[in-house]
Structure 1
Amino acid sequence: MSTAAVGADTDIAAIRQVVATIQHSQQNELVDEFVGLFRADALWTTGGGKRLFGRAAIDEFTAEVLPGAMRAGTATYEVEHVLFIRPDVAAVKVVQRYFDEDGRQAGQGSPMYVMSKEDGRWLLTANQNTVVADS
């Protein structure tokens, strides 16, 4: 295995860990843990279409909507595809599944996270969360 492949495998594992932390912070309604995954100047468009610019705006929004959000169910996050744009920038396609309080799937999202590697740590940089429409 080449050094580049080993590096990519290490980065993919780190990116998967970021997505796992997103899931953990969402399921446990941990605002600070979630917001800490973003670059200070990050962009985020929520599933409802709200555009947020910068970690402070993301923090303010998350603090309003995350506490209590899991009363009616939960969500899971699974990395579907990673495209390295550069060795330190990756587009990450995620499958997000929503489940009701009885454990039945109640919807699906399709987030796109553009992550950048900053001082050895992968951070959310430019992100769009999209609800999957019923076909």
Structure 2
Amino acid sequence: MTITQDTTEIEKLVATVQHAQQNELPEEFIGLFREDAIWTTAHGKRLTGRDEIASFTRQVLPGAGAEALASYEVAHVLFIRPDVAAVKVRQRRVAPDGSYLDVAEGSPLYVLSREDGTWRIAAGQNTVVL
């Protein structure tokens, strides 16, 4: 794949994160992770392995969008190797009517690895911008 093709695939992965979050689809979100992934929530909770990520996601995702949703936009991609990328994401809170809310943004960093031709989340750290 070319850098342009890989970047497009990474943008699709981030769009899938948004879709899964906005539509409260835990299984779609969980499917984006490597088996041995690590994930840290915006509030600092560390989750290790897809099973732990899955358990947490199934508890918190249903009902999470009742008051507001989030949009996810790729802000920067750094290819560390052809099969490893660090991806900076801009996360903004969105009202049910689609308007952006005037609240702190999120600034996730995803480390992705390409496994059998598919980009997967190997590590993620979500951070609230103060």
Q: TM-score band (shorter)?
A: over 0.9
Q: What residue is the counterpart of 1:112 in the other structure? A: 109
| 1: CA distance, partners of 2:38 / 2:107 | 17
Gaps of 5+ in 2: none
| 2: CA distance, partners of 1:104 / 1:126 | 27
Superposed structure 1 runs of 4+ greater than 2 Å apart: 99-104
Q: What residue is the counterpart of 1:12 in the other structure? A: 7
Gaps of 5+ in 1: 1-5
Amino acid aligned to 1:111:
P
Please say if 1:93 is aligned against 2:88.
Answer: yes
The answer (yes or no) to whether the contact 1:115–1:123 under 8 Å persists in 2 is yes
Please say if 1:83 is aligned against 2:87.
Answer: no
The answer (yes or no) to whether the contact 2:92–2:100 under 8 Å persists in 1 is no
Give the one of 110, 120, 125 matched to 1:123. 120
Q: Matched residue pairs, number?
A: 128
Q: CA deviation at 1:101?
A: 4.2
Give me the CA root mean square deviation: 1.1
Helix, strand or coil at the partner of 1:110: coil
Q: What residue is the counterpart of 2:57 in the other structure? A: 62
| TM-score, reference length from structure 1 | 0.91
